[in-house]
Amino acid sequence: MQLFAIFGDPVAHSRSPLMHNSVFKNAAVDACYTRVHLQDGSKLRETFFALGLSGANITVPHKEAAFEACDEIRGFANKVGVVNTIVNENGRLIGYNTDADGFMFSIEEFKNIKNILIIGAGGTAKALAARFLQEEYHVSVLNRSAARLAYFKELGCECFSWENFELKKYDLVVNTTSAGLKDEEFPCPQTILENILINCSYAADAIYGKVTPFLKLAHEKNIPAKDGANMLLGQGVLANELFLHGTLDKELIKTLMSHSFKL
Ligand code: NDP
């Protein structure tokens, strides 16, 4: 039996085991998917091999450590230095990023997007910013600390910390911070967020499974808003396809994985 896992801190909230096991069980694949609470990202590689894993997903805050842990990086992950999926290919760890395409899948119903504000500057923000720039969107980034903004400036984004933020109109605002995941915090000061939302057409949160303070405020301002569930589904389908080396059809994976969202 092949074993897969998700690494994160926290990881107890993750729906990935349900999603991937739903595919394995219903498509009669001899595999099982579990979760691993990993506090020290530098231990990712040795833990992966100690558990005899065939593949893994990586969530907050270890996606950059996952990039470092791999022997080879393929595709979009090379562009962003952030890995959320690892496949064990004959003892070599191959790293991929499926988050950005998963997010594009999740916002298909939001039309006429050209101007996006990303709140947060971590691994998810990096992947999304690079993907949005590929679509030739105008991308702004707002982060609590200025230190992480240099990467985004170089990429071609307009960058702000809370202290120097200049309000503009945005088609979409995306919360990629972990504010609201384990706490009830806004991703930036409430007054700034209120002004952003009333000047914005759509809102999306990368966090799923709960109504974060960010989403609650978007609902209060009557902004069409989505949580991260569809993004999760999209990245999961692409990761599962990689785990199974393309032996299952993507549409079948999507159907079987979607069942787990009803559990
Ligand atoms: P990282 O740890 O790489 O980055 C976290 C970011 O959040 C940093 O910019 C950090 O700012 C900011 N931040 C953390 N706490 C606060 C706070 N209290 N107030 C304001 N800013 C804060 O995380 P990831 O990019 O890997 O993940 C971010 C979120 O996205 C997580 O909640 C994760 O669960 C979710 N996610 C969901 C996915 C899905 O499929 N739906 C996929 C991927 C991620 P600073 O630089 O100042 O520390």
CATH number of residue 175's parent domain: 3.40.50.720
Looking at the structure, tell me whether residues 9 and 83 fall in a common domain.
yes
Query: Among 178, 183, 210, 226, which is best to mutate for testing ligand 1, by the most ligand atoms less than 8 A from CB?
Result: 178
Vertex 75: Cα angle to 179 and 137 (nearest 5): 55
What does the pLDDT read at residue 172?
98
Residue 103 lies in a domain: no
58 CB within 6 A, ligand 1 = no
208 CB within 6 A, ligand 1 = yes
Residue 10: asked if its preceding bond is cis (omega within 30°), the reply is yes
How far is the C-alpha of 237 from the C-alpha of 250, rounded, in Å?
7
Amino acid at 104: M
Both tokens assigned to 38:
């990993």
Looking at the structure, tell me whether residues 201 and 242 fall in a common domain.
no
Amino acid at 29: V
CB 35 within 8 A of CB 255: no
Residue 106 lies in a domain: no
What are 218-236's pLDDT values in tens digits? 999 999 999 999 889 999 9
144 CB within 6 A, ligand 1 = yes
What does the pLDDT read at residue 61?
93
How far is the C-alpha of 217 from the C-alpha of 183, rounded, in Å?
15
pLDDT (mean) for 11-35: 97
Contacts of 198 (CB under 8 A, 6+ apart): 221
Looking at the structure, tell me whether residues 19 and 67 fall in a common domain.
yes
Residue 48 lies in a domain: yes
Residue 189: asked if its preceding bond is cis (omega within 30°), the reply is no
Residue 66 banded pLDDT, cuts 50, 70, 90: very high
Looking at the structure, tell me whether residues 133 and 209 fall in a common domain.
yes
Strand, coil or helix: what is 72?
strand
Does residue 209 have a pLDDT over 90?
no
The burial of 146, by beta-carbon neighbours within 10 Å (0-12 exposed, 13-18 middle, 19 or more buried), is given as: middle
Residue 141 lies in a domain: yes
Q: How many structural domains comprise the chain? A: 2
> pTM for the full model?
0.85
The burial of 61, by beta-carbon neighbours within 10 Å (0-12 exposed, 13-18 middle, 19 or more buried), is given as: middle
Q: Which ligand 1 atom sits nearest the alpha carbon of residue 177?
A: 7
CA 19 to chain centre: 15
Looking at the structure, tell me whether residues 255 and 209 fall in a common domain.
no
Residue 108 banded pLDDT, cuts 50, 70, 90: confident
94 CB within 6 A, ligand 1 = no
Residue 84 lies in a domain: yes
Looking at the structure, tell me whether residues 184 and 136 fall in a common domain.
yes
Residue 195 lies in a domain: yes
Centre of ligand 1 to C-alpha 2, Å, is 30
Looking at the structure, tell me whether residues 48 and 82 fall in a common domain.
yes
How far is the C-alpha of 39 from the C-alpha of 24, rounded, in Å?
28
206 CB within 6 A, ligand 1 = yes
- Nearest CA to 231 among 127, 112, 121? 127
Looking at the structure, tell me whether residues 249 and 218 fall in a common domain.
no
Looking at the structure, tell me whether residues 81 and 136 fall in a common domain.
no
What are 31-48's pLDDT values in tens digits? 999 999 999 999 999 999
Looking at the structure, tell me whether residues 239 and 211 fall in a common domain.
no
Looking at the structure, tell me whether residues 82 and 24 fall in a common domain.
yes
CB 118 within 8 A of CB 176: yes
* Residues with catalytic roles: 63
- Domain interval for residue 119: 111-223
Q: In the chain, what percentage of residues exceed pLDDT 90?
A: 92
What are 246-255's pLDDT values in tens digits? 999 999 999 9
Centre of ligand 1 to C-alpha 45, Å, is 22
